[in-house]
Amino acid sequence: MQTVIFMNSDNIHRLILLCQSMHEAGSSPSVGMLRSKAPFKVSVTEAIEAIKRFNASKPVMRSSNLTTLTTTTSRPEELSERVSMLEKEVAELKQQLAAITQRLHVQ
């Protein structure tokens, strides 16, 4: 007899978002981390499913800018959004560089 496990798609979606935030923070999502950081009770199968779905979409996030640009953006509005996002990242990097430079001059 086969056991059927029903998973709440809303929970899976929330877990995938948690995986994305972990990834953005520089850590690789794992079943244990996902279960401990989730604000609700998570089964092992839900955590595994969320990580599988996250990993299936992750190559687009990890690829080089050129690959991402050519594979995911084909419409002008998508290019405009991408440029805006990159401009924000550059501004953040400039702020971080200025803060580091200032700290070096203080020492």
Check residue 63 and give its pLDDT. 42
φ, ψ for residue 90, nearest 5 deg = -65, -40
Q: Which residue bears the tokens 């992750």?
A: 58
Q: What is the pTM of this model?
A: 0.49
Q: Beta-carbon neighbour count of residue 82 at 10 Å? A: 15
Residues, the chain: 107
Using one digit for the tens of pLDDT, what is the confidence trace for 20-75?
A: 988 888 888 999 999 999 999 999 999 999 999 998 886 544 444 444 445 554 67
Mean pLDDT of 100-104: 86
Question: Strand locations in the chain, DSSP E?
Answer: none
Check residue 92 and give its pLDDT. 87
The CA dihedral of 30, 85, 88, 63, to the nearest 10 degrees, is 50
Higher-confidence residue of 106 and 93: namely 93
Confidence tier at 77 by pLDDT (50, 70, 90):
confident
Cα(104)–Cα(32) distance, rounded to whole angstroms?
39
Check residue 58 and give its pLDDT. 66
